[in-house]
C-alpha cells in the first residue's frame, strides 16, 4: 500500500538528507581551507577537529528539517514552499551553530566556513530534493507509486477535483470511483464512474484497498458528513473533505481555532496582520524617499516643461477611493488643459483626446505623470505596491457590476501593482484587473512586493494603453 511506501521513502529521505548535510560540510571545509579563495592563518584547526562537529550537525539538521515539515508527501507540495522551508531550517541551524561556538568559546573555529556551509547546504538540498521530486513525478506519470482513492458524493467539487487530478498525473492519484446516492451506477465523468451508493463504504472500507477517501458531497447533503466521517475514522483510512462552496466563497479561505471551534474566514488578507502592515509601511517610507531623490531631476525637468508649454498648475489633484473606502486627493503632474470642474468628463481618457497636452502625451505614456504619488505614499494615502485607486463614481459603478470589486479597498492602493505589471492598465478589462488585484491581496509577501517593483522597471513604466 502507498502509506507503507511513504514510510519507507521518508526513511530513505532522512538518510539522503544526512549525506547531503555531511558532504556539504566537507565541501565547505575544502572551499575555506584548500581552494585558495581565502587566506589561511598558521593556527587554523585540523580537518579532524572540524569533522568531529558532524556528530552534532547531521542529527541537528535532520531534526530541524522535521520541524519545518520537510518530510511531508511531495505529491502536491510546491517547490517554492519546500525551498523556503529549507532556507528557514538552515537559517536556524546557522544561528544555533554560532551560538554554540560563542557559548563554548571556540574562537578558532572558522566562522567563514560555517557561512560557506550555509550557502552550499541550501543549494545542495534544494537541488537534490528537486531531483527526487522529478524522479517521483516521472514514475507516477507512468502509472507507478499511485495513491488509490474513492470520492464520496457527486457535486461541482467532485468534477473540479477530477479535473485537477487528470491535469496533473505526476501527483500519482488514481480515482477508483465515486459513491453517490443520486447518480445512477455507471454514470461517469471523464472516465471516473459512479460505482455505488454512499452506504457501499461499509463494504469497501473493510477490504482496505483504498489509500484515501475524499468527501466531495454537494452542499445540500452536508447532513451526511458525520455519518461518513465516522465510518472512515473507524476504518483508519485517511480522509479529506473537499467543500462544495467554490461558487459561494471563490477565494482562499483560512481557518482558525476559537477554543476548539473551527472558524472559516472567507478571505485570507495577510495585510490585516499588524506586523505585516508595519513592515510594508517601513518599506514604503524608505522606498518613496529614495525614489524622490533618484527621480528628482526628471520631476524638475517635467515641472519646467509643463510650466513652459501649458498655463496652469503643475500638480493635478483628483479624488480617489483608498483604504477602507476612504477618499483622498491623489497627486499627478498635470497632463491636460485646465478645465472647470463642471466640464470634466466622468470617463477615462480616450485615444487622441483633445484635452491632453503635448507634454502630457509623453509623460502619460512613460508614467512620469504618476511620480508625484510618491508624496501620497509618504503621507500614507498610498503604498508603493497595491491595487490602483479609482474615482468615487467608478467605484460606485463597478461595485454593482463586478463581484468582489470592493475587496481591493481592504489594503492601501498602490503606485504600481500586480495587475499593472501584467498589462492591465488604462483602458483594459476591469474584471481581469480585479482578478489580479485579489490574487495580490490574498498572496501578499514582502518578496512579492519587491518582485512587482522589479517588474515595474521593465513592464510598468511604458503604458501602451495611456492616451
Distance CA 220, CA 15 (A): 48
Calculate mean pLDDT across residues 394-408. Answer: 87
Q: Which residues pair with 188 in a beta bridge?
A: 193
Please report the pLDDT score of residue 288 as a whole number.
Answer: 94
Instruction: Please name which of 94, 96, 172 lies closest in space to residue 137, comparing C-alpha atoms.
Output: 172
CB contact set of 386 (below 8 Å; sequence gap of 6+): 411, 412, 413, 414, 415, 417, 440
Residue with grid cell 452542499, as numbered in its chain: 219
State the pLDDT confidence band at 373, using cuts at 50, 70 and 90.
Answer: very high
User: What does 32-100 look like in DSSP terms, one character per residue?
Assistant: HHTSSSS---TTPPPHHHHHHTHHHHHHHHHHHHHHTTTTS--SS--HHHHHHHHHHHHHHHHHHHHHH
Confidence band (pLDDT; 50, 70, 90) for 461? low
Cα 39 from chain centroid (whole Å): 42
- The answer to whether residue 424 scores a pLDDT higher than 90 is no
Report the run of H or E that residue 256 belongs to, with start and end: strand 254-258
CA angle (368, 373, 379) in 5-degree steps: 160
Closest CA to 291 of 215, 385, 409: 385
Please report the pLDDT score of residue 3 as a whole number.
46
- Counting residues of the chain whose pLDDT is more than 90, the rounded percentage is 39
pLDDT band, residue 403 (cuts 50/70/90): confident
H-run or E-run covering 228 = helix 225-235
Question: Contact, 83 vs 95, CB < 8 A?
Answer: no
- Which alpha helices (DSSP H) does 310-429 contain, by range? 358-365, 373-379, 392-401, 418-421
Residue 442 C-alpha cell reads as 490574498
pLDDT at 121 over 80: yes
- Average pLDDT value for the chain: 85
Q: Map out the domains of the chain with their CATH numbers.
A: 2-141 (no CATH), 147-248 (3.40.50.720), 272-460 (no CATH)
User: With DSSP H G I counted as helix, E B as strand and the rest as coil, what are the percentages for the chain, rounded to 5?
Assistant: 55, 15, 30
Calculate mean pLDDT across residues 113-119.
Answer: 93
Grade residue 73 by pLDDT with cuts at 50, 70 and 90: low
Longest dimension (CA), the chain: 86
pLDDT value at position 154? 94
pTM of this structure: 0.60
Q: Which residues pair with 148 in a beta bridge?
A: 174
Cα distance between residue 130 and residue 380, in whole Å: 42
- The better pLDDT of the pair 73, 331 is held by 331
CA angle 385, 387, 389 (to 5 degrees): 115
Q: What percent of the chain lies above the pLDDT cut of 70? A: 88
Show the cell assigned to 220. 445540500
The secondary structure element, H or E, covering residue 154 is none
Alpha helices in 310-442, H assignment, sequence order? 358-365, 373-379, 392-401, 418-421, 430-442
Give the three-state DSSP class for 8.
helix
pLDDT of 458 > 80? The answer is no
In the structure grid, which three cell numbers stand for residue 118, read together? 550555509
Q: Which residue has the higher pLDDT, 90 or 237?
A: 90
CB 126 within 8 A of CB 191: no
Amino acid at each position: 500500500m502507498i502509506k507503507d511506501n511513504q514510510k519507507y521513502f521518508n526513511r530513505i529521505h532522512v538518510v539522503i538528507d544526512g549525506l547531503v548535510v555531511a558532504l556539504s560540510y566537507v565541501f565547505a571545509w575544502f572551499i575555506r581551507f584548500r581552494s585558495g579563495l581565502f587566506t589561511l592563518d598558521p593556527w587554523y584547526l585540523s580537518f579532524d577537529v572540524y569533522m568531529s562537529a558532524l556528530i552534532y550537525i547531521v542529527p541537528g539538521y535532520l531534526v530541524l528539517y522535521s520541524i519545518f515539515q520537510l518530510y511531508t508527501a511531495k505529491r502536491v507540495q510546491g517547490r517554492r514552499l519546500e525551498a523556503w522551508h529549507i532556507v528557514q531550517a538552515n537559517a536556524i541551524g546557522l544561528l544555533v551553530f554560532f551560538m554554540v561556538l560563542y557559548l563554548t568559546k571556540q574562537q578558532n573555529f572558522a566562522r567563514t566556513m560555517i557561512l560557506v556551509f550555509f550557502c552550499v547546504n541550501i543549494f545542495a538540498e534544494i537541488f537534490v530534493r528537486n531531483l527526487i521530486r522529478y524522479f517521483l513525478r516521472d514514475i507516477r506519470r507512468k502509472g507507478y507509486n499511485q495513491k488509490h482513492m474513492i470520492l464520496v458524493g457527486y457535486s461541482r467539487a467532485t468534477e473540479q477535483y477530477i479535473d485537477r487530478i487528470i491535469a496533473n498525473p505526476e501527483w500519482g492519484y488514481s480515482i477508483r470511483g465515486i459513491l453517490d446516492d443520486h447518480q445512477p451506477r455507471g454514470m461517469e465523468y471523464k472516465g471516473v464512474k459512479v460505482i455505488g451508493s454512499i452506504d457501499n463504504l461499509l463494504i469497501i472500507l473493510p477490504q482496505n484497498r483504498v489509500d484515501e477517501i475524499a468527501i466531495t458531497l454537494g452542499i445540500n447533503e452536508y447532513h451526511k458528513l458525520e455519518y461518513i466521517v465516522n465510518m472512515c475514522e473507524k476504518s483508519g483510512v485517511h480522509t479529506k473533505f473537499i467543500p462544495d462552496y467554490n461558487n459561494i466563497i471563490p477565494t482562499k479561505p483560512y481557518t482558525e481555532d476559537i477554543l476548539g471551534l473551527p472558524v472559516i474566514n472567507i478571505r485570507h488578507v495577510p495585510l490585516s496582520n499588524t506586523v505585516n502592515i508595519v513592515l510594508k509601511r517601513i518599506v514604503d517610507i524608505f522606498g518613496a524617499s529614495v525614489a524622490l531623490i533618484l527621480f528628482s531631476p526628471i520631476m524638475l525637468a517635467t515641472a519646467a516643461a509643463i510650466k513652459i508649454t501649458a498655463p496652469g498648475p503643475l500638480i493635478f489633484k483628483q479624488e480617489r477611493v483608498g483604504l477602507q473606502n476612504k477618499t483622498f486627493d491623489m497627486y499627478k503632474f498635470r497632463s491636460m488643459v485646465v478645465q472647470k470642474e463642471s466640464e470634466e468628463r466622468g470617463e477615462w481618457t480616450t485615444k487622441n483626446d483633445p484635452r491632453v497636452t503635448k507634454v502630457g502625451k509623453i509623460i502619460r505614456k512613460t508614467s512620469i505623470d504618476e511620480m508625484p504619488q510618491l508624496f501620497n505614499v509618504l503621507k500614507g494615502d498610498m503604498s508603493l505596491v497595491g491595487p490602483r485607486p479609482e474615482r468615487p463614481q467608478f467605484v460606485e459603478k463597478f461595485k454593482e457590476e463586478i463581484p468582489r470589486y470592493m475587496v481591493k479597498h481592504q489594503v492601501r492602493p498602490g503606485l504600481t501593482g500586480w495587475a499593472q505589471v501584467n498589462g492591465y492598465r488604462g483602458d483594459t478589462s476591469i474584471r481581469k484587473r480585479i482578478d489580479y488585484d485579489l490574487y495580490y491581496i490574498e498572496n501578499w509577501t514582502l518578496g512579492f512586493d519587491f518582485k512587482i517593483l522589479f517588474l515595474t522597471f521593465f513592464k510598468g513604466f511604458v503604458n501602451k494603453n495611456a492616451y
